[in-house]
Structure 1
Amino acid sequence: MLKEGRYEFTDGLSLDVDKVILRGEGMDKTILSFSNQQSGAQGLLVTSDGVILKDFAVENAKGDAIKVIGVEGFTWLI
């Protein structure tokens, strides 16, 4: 659970663990900001199966906000 707030990142994030739920408290309340991103081609890279993303926003990534590669059972609820 990502609590309400603005999370600032300087690097892209990678999610490579199966069956994870990454949940915020609402798109206008939980924000992953990559405004100061210095490395990584996207904000969040998902390479694991059975991932659920919901109730958060991603902003200002260098490339794709969220990139999903070679997975099964991915769900993104907005």
Structure 2
Amino acid sequence: MAAQLALSLDNLEAVLAGAGTTLTNLVRLVVHTADVDRLSAHHGVLAASLGAAGAAPATTLLGVNRPALPGLMVELAGTAVD
């Protein structure tokens, strides 16, 4: 879970960079997971990355029945403003 969460954050940062922005412009973050308890145990990965970037988006954690693809444990959806 920690590795997928870190990779998801890296991917989010790459998408934001492609749009000419960074995590600091993130105003909303939605975290989807099929295992809320496991994700909660690794919340520090998310908090550390956002904190290091100076980002403090409104964050929602949603438990889902199953992810879109087998093997996925976490999905991030963010909204950024410039």
Fold shared by both chains (TM-score > 0.5): no
Structure possessing the higher relative contact order (Cα contacts under 8 Å, 6 or more residues apart)? 2
| Structure-2-length-normalised TM-score | 0.28
Q: Which structure features the higher share of strand residues?
A: 1
| Structure-1-length-normalised TM-score | 0.29
Q: Which structure features the higher share of helix residues?
A: 2
